[in-house]
Structure 1
Amino acid sequence: MTAEMSHAPTRRRSRGASRRLIGALAATAAWSACFAGLAPSAVAEDVQARQWYLDAMQAEEMWKVSTGKGITVAVIDTGVNPDTPSLSGQVLKGLDATEADGDENDDYKGHGTTMAELIAGTGNGGGLKGLAPDAKIIPYRIANTDFQHSNKHVNARDSADAIRAAADSDARIINMSFGSDFSMDAEREAAEYALSKGKLFFAAAGNDGDGANAVQYPAAYEEVVAVSSADSKGTVAKTSQHGGFVDVASPGADVPVWCDNTFQSYCDGNGTSAATAIASASAALVWSAHPDWTASQVLRVLFDTAARDWPDDETSAYLGHGLIRPSMNLLKHKGDPGDPDVSPLTGKSTSASGSGSTASAAPSGSASPSASASASSQPSQGKSGDATVVAGSSESEDSGNNLGLIACGVVVVVVLGGGALYYLRRRRSTV
């Protein structure tokens, strides 16, 4: 099951409140004003100097309040190499769900290691500095298409098994920069189980926005936070997949990534994989600062403080609730955590309170991929009850050009973006 950032990684759900989807073509938001008055980063001219979003998100200031300490993030990906300088001492024991040769520390692509570094890298040895550098990583290895083709015996239920294992682990956050066109019963039930266990699950929205823009899973499941990608100017490229399933946007363009699994050099990457990792790290910072909060409260604050200039009960088809800004909570104490036992994703009570969930600890015995959405198993791009605003609609005036967003001078406009993709993508025809 997979989304990959190429060298350069849909849904909706009923939210409990009627929502209008704002969007047309592609959206952009400018972070440029965030750099005004900031001193140059005090890092050497290495890969960290290319991590533009650390300054844009006020990472140095946030780290005075929270570094992600005490939070563990499950990274479900191509494996994680624990021996890069930036990940030394950061990676805990995980699981190889592929059941192929090697284990969860054998990263066959370099992708999973990149995601782990973006989340919790220490920056040692000139490596990537994670946004939550004191968080820990639990790796879960699953297969992409190439890995499946090169290995005869791969567990067909690897993604579902990995999600369930992560749900049963000490990880509070699950990061899955992977995507597939197919919804699988076992995987969907695993996502439901993770929610019932109090986990916060982020997944990449996908990078085929200028193509078929097919719904991607697990991002499209109701229990999962779908993340789109923004650049230093806030541009959400036309390749970033869009629709009613998108929950939030996060930095993902021009982000350094490991070039391959030799771990010799970093390359420039673009896409929703990195955006997802940075969103997960944002959640880790907030949760570390508020360890008694539930997943629902952490996510509600991230939604509440996201940069936007449309009403809180409306979402953009490209930006979701807006651009993620953990600094608004950590530095300005903004955001209402709300009810600890009601998910902002589903609008339903979570099992953390002992009610409202029917998720089973036992996995389903079947998985049914389908290329077309159905009311029962595949969320549509605009659930019943959502009023979708499209280009030219009389209701879309507030989604037009030059929407000035408060804090860091974020501006949303309608443009077309582009760029290479870095998104692990795997298609399954059967399971």
Structure 2
Amino acid sequence: MSHRHRLWSLLGSAALAAIMCVSTPLAASAADDSSAPGNNAQWWADTYGVGAAHAAGLTGAGVKVAVIESQINPDLPVFEGTNLSISDKPLCKSDGDAVTTEANSPAIHGTTITAMIIGNGTGAGLVSGIAPDADLTFYGLGPQAGCTKNDTGGLSDFGFNVKNAVDDGARVIVSAVSMVASEADAPVIAYAVARGVAIVAAYPNPNSGVNVAKDYTGMNGVVGVSGIDSQGNLQVQDDGTPFVIPSTTVVASGCCLPTVGWAGDWSASSSRQGSSYAAPTVAGMLALAAQKYPEATGNQLVHALLSSTNGAQHEPVRADDGFGYGAAWLPTLLETDPSSFPDETPLMQGPFGAPTADQIASARANGFEAPETQRQSTFDREAAGANTFDVGSLVPWIIAAVVGLVIVAAAITVIVVIAQRRKVRGRNAS
């Protein structure tokens, strides 16, 4: 049975009737808000048996999770009583750049992603987290307009925060902000993999204008997640065709999910879709598995994730149809003991091609090795094609040009001297 048909079967039997995705703001009231209990906005919780996992005591307690997003409002009701903290190693020199009370787009996004992991189910959207008792630290990238940054040591904004999260003891790192992959980040991703930290990232959405091949979700060792709806369908492009990302690792619920805040109002909510909302679901699943199997490394947990998709334990096989290894599935993940898997990432076929096995081995032996300089992405150079020059190949031409200029200058000097002599002879003759 194909991944897609298997998903339809599973989701059709486990989820409630599909709801229509809308992007208009919805009032945060039980009477007419799609995020109210019983109105299917959190269909994923029933589909993945989240309630049963919580009833069994698996709530993410004691597991450190890191969220890398732009901004957050940590003072909202949805975070009351949760174990939420803000990183004390800010990317921006102004500590307040990551924390805001303004209900702008990046803040709503970061707040919602965080709430999907540890939210208490109150406030706008009534968002309940999949791992409500996890110890979650928010690592802010700052507002979209940018900020004055602290020294990142040659790492990108993403790499800087990954490094800090690993050093802070995170077992699972998740981000849903699209950023360009950088060779300079290969050492820090290798460092995370060597330390057994699971990195989960959302793939870009259709019509976003993002070049998927350049996104950091394509780096080795990163669990790249794409979103599906409650019927197991991928997102579609403007022309109605499925948005297929061949390098997808797994898929998860990413449609018709409530936001915390909407259009400048923290008391409003909207039903939204996108891979952004699938990534925290997968990260939360890994957090619950990490609680159940505390000795497992992130690499072993990722092996278990890939071996338990679509509701069955199996040998992992990845397809290029946009579903990757299949749908992440919490019940079978929790039944899969990761101790039998090697402490090595199974994700070494990313389109970016880095970090390499040698870089990971070096990180195991030596820890983190900072990049010497911030280098241009391999993909940026390849995209330049014929416009990319080898400076060394220009040296002969430069030398020839200099010699030519010297010859021309000498000729001009001779001409001037001869002219001056003729003028002198002319005056003497007169």
Identify whether the pair has TM-score above 0.5, normalized to the shorter chain.
Answer: yes
Identify the range of structure 1 (87-96 vs 205-214) with the bigger mean alpha-carbon deviation: 205-214
1:142 match? 141
1:271 match? 274
1:315 match? 319
- Could you tell me the TM-score, scaled by structure 2's length? 0.69
Q: Secondary structure at the match of 1:315?
A: coil
2:218 match? 220
Task: Provide the C-alpha distance between the structure 2 equivalents of 1:106 and 1:341, rounded to a whole number of angstroms.
Answer: 39
**Conserved 8 A contact 2:181-2:216:** yes
The 5-angstrom pairing of residues 12-411 of structure 1 reads 29=8, 31-35=11-15, 47-49=35-37, 50-65=41-56, 66-88=58-80, 89-94=82-87, 95-100=89-94, 102-106=96-100, 109-125=107-123, 127-143=126-142, 146-148=144-146, 151=147, 153-154=148-149, 157-180=156-179, 182-208=180-206, 214-239=212-237, 242-258=244-260, 259-260=262-263, 262-307=265-310, 312-330=316-334, 333-334=335-336, 337-346=339-348, 360-369=368-377, 371-372=379-380
Task: Provide the C-alpha distance between the structure 1 equivalents of 2:377 and 2:309, rounded to a whole number of angstroms.
Answer: 34
**Conserved 8 A contact 2:15-2:230:** no
Identity of aligned residues (%): 23
Task: Provide the C-alpha distance between the structure 2 equivalents of 1:77 and 1:374, rounded to a whole number of angstroms.
Answer: 29
For structure 2, list consecutive stretches of 5 or more residues without a partner in the other structure: 18-28, 350-355, 384-430
Q: Residues 349-373 of structure 1: CA distance to partner in whole angstroms, max 9, x if unpaired?
A: 8999998667634244213145557
Task: Provide the C-alpha distance between the structure 1 equivalents of 2:283 and 2:217, rounded to a whole number of angstroms.
Answer: 13
Cα distance change, pair 362–370 in 1 and its aligned pair in 2 (3 A): closer
Identify the range of structure 1 (306-315 vs 193-202) with the bigger mean alpha-carbon deviation: 306-315
**Conserved 8 A contact 2:97-2:142:** no
Q: Residues 100-119 of structure 1: CA distance to partner in whole angstroms, max 9, x if unpaired?
A: 56243337531111111001
Q: Secondary structure at the match of 1:186?
A: helix
Q: Secondary structure at the match of 1:225?
A: strand
Q: Secondary structure at the match of 1:79?
A: coil
**Conserved 8 A contact 2:257-2:273:** yes
Task: Provide the C-alpha distance between the structure 2 equivalents of 1:328 and 1:27, rounded to a whole number of angstroms.
Answer: 15
Q: Secondary structure at the match of 2:225?
A: strand
Deviation for aligned residue 1:241: 5.4
- Could you tell me the TM-score, scaled by structure 1's length? 0.69
Q: Residues 242-296 of structure 1: CA distance to partner in whole angstroms, max 9, x if unpaired?
A: 4442100010110111325642211111101110011101111111111111111
Letter in 2 for 1:62: A
Name the larger-Rg structure.
2
1:389 match? none
Q: Higher relative contact order by CA 8 Å / sep ≥ 6: 1 or 2?
A: 1
Which is strand-richer, 1 or 2?
1
**Conserved 8 A contact 1:208-1:214:** no
Cα distance change, pair 349–254 in 1 and its aligned pair in 2 (3 A): same
Task: Provide the C-alpha distance between the structure 2 equivalents of 1:208 and 1:35, rounded to a whole number of angstroms.
Answer: 24
For structure 1, list consecutive stretches of 5 or more residues without a partner in the other structure: 1-21, 38-42, 376-431
Task: Provide the C-alpha distance between the structure 2 equivalents of 1:241 and 1:99, rounded to a whole number of angstroms.
Answer: 38
Task: Provide the C-alpha distance between the structure 1 equivalents of 2:361 and 2:213, rounded to a whole number of angstroms.
Answer: 31
Cα distance change, pair 243–101 in 1 and its aligned pair in 2 (3 A): same
Letter in 2 for 1:51: Q
Question: How many aligned residue pairs are there?
Answer: 341
1:411 match? none
Letter in 2 for 1:63: H
**Conserved 8 A contact 1:342-1:350:** no
Deviation for aligned residue 1:135: 1.0
Identify the range of structure 1 (220-229 vs 183-192) with the bigger mean alpha-carbon deviation: 183-192
Deviation for aligned residue 1:74: 0.6
Deviation for aligned residue 1:299: 1.0
Q: Secondary structure at the match of 2:145?
A: helix
**Conserved 8 A contact 1:86-1:124:** yes
Measured on the aligned residues, the alpha-carbon RMSD in Å equals: 3.6
Q: Secondary structure at the match of 2:249?
A: strand
